[in-house]
């Protein structure tokens, strides 16, 4: 059956838009049922139908992509200097100023800017926007917060065979990363599956290292270059010096040849504040301090043998197990030896023996750490045996001006607080970190915190003094956040610390003078006794006469001899 319905439209209505309208229902076709087809159907009884009133809902899950957020900041301290001039080096800045002031354009520029600057100076002097109207009112002192510290992050050695975390170095750019040197210092540790790698960790991603450093020998010490942040200096267990450029991956850029390197492990390596930013020096237990330039590492540029007899003999040299260098004193550095002697060195001296300026007999055993006070460079801290001691370079061959009590476990490392002049941190072999504040307590630490069950081998503080990094003997690095009271400089604290150090220095000078006077008196007394000593023959004759005289008196008393005789 064909059903067809035709729609007709006039030619002029083609292309017109359709106009629909409502109309009543109309039957177009009526198809009656065909009863002959009823046998082909199968009846179904009963018939169930499900009816749902609510709308059908569908559940969908969407996982959005993670947005990685990075925090970046700019800390502008002093600008306008060329790249080859270090603003912290007064000698380089003075020389560059003199060169610029000799140029003709310098005078014209100053004259042009003078009127502009004068206008703004007058404008600023019109009113003091920082004037304190109620300066006479004393500020209410905040309640003293109890010293505390807590662990905020943990970085672990990713290798199955654990090694020691021997040294830490914070990234100079806002401490966003930390370089950790991993090495086993146990005698003849020959585990075959032990890795040589060291790592640089991003603190925002502490589970995987940012860069894997791959040296030819395990690295004992690592140090960032404060002038060129991408350069990392390393001292190896076999005595070689190596450096990396972090922009080019974890393979070393260059390393020193074995025949011209140290013969023992390198326990200290530092960058020097040179004009090029490529010079460094290192110290080792082989008794040598070597200076290098990473542009030419085929051989050292300078050498110093730590022979305190001043004979410049390597067989008499003392092994350097710790090293300290402060950029504020670019020609001086401190060396802590295995024999317990601290050597204060000056690179500008004429001859190698004269470079060892003074000696401090500090500890019974090795000096594990020596570091200068960042506020008073002549004052330095040393750690060895069971105590930490504070020394001053004004007194040589004398006792320390201050010292801590003797502890039961060994002290392994120490560092000063970069923001508080009288606060320093020490680590011990039982896994405890002590915080000392000599302005408040001299006999007991202000805070003692059990960090780990393993020995704490290394310690390093961030520039703000708020975060402390501790490395253990199992390769775990703990990042500790200390309370604000221990990392905030109080009013007059620097003056009080200076007064305390000067007072203790004067006291030690008085004791040293009294000790010398006593030695002189004893020497004079011994000399006088030698001069007054009689002739042995005369003493013998006098003793013989006294002996026979006593015998004669005794015989007379007994009546054996006539008294007239």
Contact yes or no for 433/151 (Cβ under 8 A): no
Q: Is the link from the previous residue into 46 a cis peptide, with omega within 30 of 0? A: yes
Q: What is the pLDDT of residue 77?
A: 64
Distance CA 272, CA 46 (A): 97
Q: What is the pLDDT of residue 426?
A: 92
Distance CA 292, CA 285 (A): 18
**What SS3 class is residue 281?**
strand
List, in sequence order, every beta strand (DSSP E) within 451-541: 456-461, 467-472, 477-482
Distance CA 445, CA 455 (A): 19
Q: What is the pLDDT of residue 284?
A: 92
Q: Which two tokens stand for residue 152?
A: 């905020």
The model scores a pTM over 0.95: no
Answer left, alpha or beta for residue 92, where phi above 0 means left and psi between -120 and 50 means alpha: alpha
- In the chain, where are the structural domains located? 149-490
Distance CA 221, CA 218 (A): 9
Instruction: Return the closest-CA partner of residue 487 out of 423, 555, 556.
Output: 423
Contact yes or no for 357/345 (Cβ under 8 A): yes
> What is the dihedral sign for C-alpha 32, 36, 42, 45?
positive
Q: What is the mean pLDDT of each run of 10 residues along the chain (565 residues)?
A: 73 77 85 82 77 75 77 71 78 84 86 87 81 61 70 88 90 87 83 86 86 90 88 91 89 89 90 86 90 88 86 85 87 89 86 83 88 90 89 80 88 90 91 89 88 90 89 90 86 88 87 87 81 71 86 80 54
What Å distances lie between residue 449 and 143, 236, 468, CA to CA? Answer: 23, 32, 12
Q: Which two tokens stand for residue 51?
A: 């009816």
- As to burial, measured by CB atoms within 10 angstroms (0-12 exposed, 13-18 middle, 19+ buried), residue 359 is middle
Other CB atoms within a 10 A radius of the CB of residue 558 amount to 8
Predicted confidence (pLDDT) per residue in 163-200, tens digit: 999 999 999 887 889 999 999 888 777 778 888 889 99
Q: Which two tokens stand for residue 161?
A: 């065979």
Q: Which two tokens stand for residue 427?
A: 């680590």
The radius of gyration computed from the CA coordinates of the chain, to the nearest angstrom, equals: 42
**What SS3 class is residue 490?**
coil
**What SS3 class is residue 170?**
strand
Q: What is the pLDDT of residue 140?
A: 47
End-to-end CA distance of the chain: 190
**What SS3 class is residue 144?**
coil
Instruction: Return the closest-CA partner of residue 222 out of 243, 208, 201.
Output: 243
Q: Which two tokens stand for residue 468?
A: 């402390």
Distance CA 401, CA 423 (A): 16
Q: Which two tokens stand for residue 425?
A: 């941190």
Distance CA 228, CA 382 (A): 29
149-490: CATH class: mainly beta
Contact yes or no for 379/373 (Cβ under 8 A): yes
**What SS3 class is residue 493?**
helix
Name the strand (E) or helix (H) holding 119: helix 104-126
CA angle, 317 then 321 then 322, to 5°: 120
**What SS3 class is residue 49?**
coil
């Amino acid at each position: 059956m064909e059903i067809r319905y035709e729609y007709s439209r006039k030619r002029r209505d083609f292309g017109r838009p359709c106009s629909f309208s409502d109309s009543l229902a109309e039957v177009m076709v009526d198809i009656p049922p065909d009863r002959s087809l009823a046998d082909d159907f199968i009846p179904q009884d009963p018939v169930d139908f499900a009816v749902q009133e609510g709308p059908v809902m569908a559940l969908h899950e969407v996982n959005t992509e993670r947005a990685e957020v990075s925090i970046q900041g700019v800390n502008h301290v002093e600008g306008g200097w060329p790249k080859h001039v270090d603003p912290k080096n007064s000698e380089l800045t003075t020389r560059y100023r003199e060169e610029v002031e000799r140029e003709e354009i310098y005078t014209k520029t100053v004259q042009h800017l003078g009127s502009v600057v004068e206008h703004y100076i007058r404008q600023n002097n019109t009113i003091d926007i920082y004037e304190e109207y109620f300066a006479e009112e004393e500020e209410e002192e905040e309640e003293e917060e109890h010293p505390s510290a807590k662990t905020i992050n943990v970085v672990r050695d990713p290798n199955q065979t654990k090694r020691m975390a021997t040294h830490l170095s914070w990234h100079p750019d806002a401490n966003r990363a930390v370089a950790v040197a991993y090495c086993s210092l146990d005698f003849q540790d020959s585990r075959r599956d032990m890795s040589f790698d060291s790592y640089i960790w991003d603190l925002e991603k502490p589970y995987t290292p940012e860069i894997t450093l791959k040296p030819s020998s395990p690295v004992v010490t690592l140090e960032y270059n404060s002038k060129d942040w991408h350069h990392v200096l390393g001292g190896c267990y076999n005595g070689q010096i190596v450096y990396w450029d972090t922009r080019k991956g974890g393979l070393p850029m260059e390393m020193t040849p074995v025949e011209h390197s140290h013969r023992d492990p390198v326990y200290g390596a530092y960058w020097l504040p040179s004009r090029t930013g490529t010079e460094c020096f290192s110290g080792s237990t082989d008794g040598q301090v070597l200076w290098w330039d990473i542009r030419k590492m085929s051989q050292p540029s300078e050498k110093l043998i730590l022979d305190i007899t001043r004979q410049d003999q390597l067989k008499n040299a003392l092994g350097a197990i710790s090293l300290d260098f402060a950029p504020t004193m670019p020609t001086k550095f401190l060396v802590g030896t295995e024999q317990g002697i601290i050597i204060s060195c000056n690179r500008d001296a004429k001859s190698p023996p004269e470079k060892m300026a003074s000696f401090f007999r500090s500890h019974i055993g090795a000096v594990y750490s020596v570091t200068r006070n960042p506020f008073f460079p002549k004052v330095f801290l040393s750690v060895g045996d069971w105590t930490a001691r504070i020394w001053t370079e004004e007194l040589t061959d004398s006792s320390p001006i201050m010292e801590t009590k003797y502890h039961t476990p060994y002290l392994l490392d120490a560092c000063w607080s970069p923001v508080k002049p009288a606060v320093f941190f020490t680590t011990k072999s039982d896994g405890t970190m002590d915080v000392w504040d000599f302005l408040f307590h001299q006999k007991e630490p202000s805070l003692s915190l059990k960090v780990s069950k393993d020995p704490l081998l290394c310690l390093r503080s961030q520039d703000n003094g708020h975060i402390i990094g501790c490395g253990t003997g199992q390769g775990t690095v703990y990042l500790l956040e200390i309370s604000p009271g221990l990392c905030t400089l109080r009013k007059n604290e620097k003056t009080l610390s200076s007064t305390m150090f000067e007072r203790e220095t004067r006291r030690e000078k008085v004791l040293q003078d009294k000790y010398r006077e006593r030695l002189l008196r004893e020497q004079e007394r011994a000399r006088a006794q030698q001069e007054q000593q009689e002739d042995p023959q005369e003493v013998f004759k006098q003793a013989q006469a006294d002996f026979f005289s006593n015998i004669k008196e005794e015989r007379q008393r007994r009546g054996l001899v006539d008294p007239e005789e």
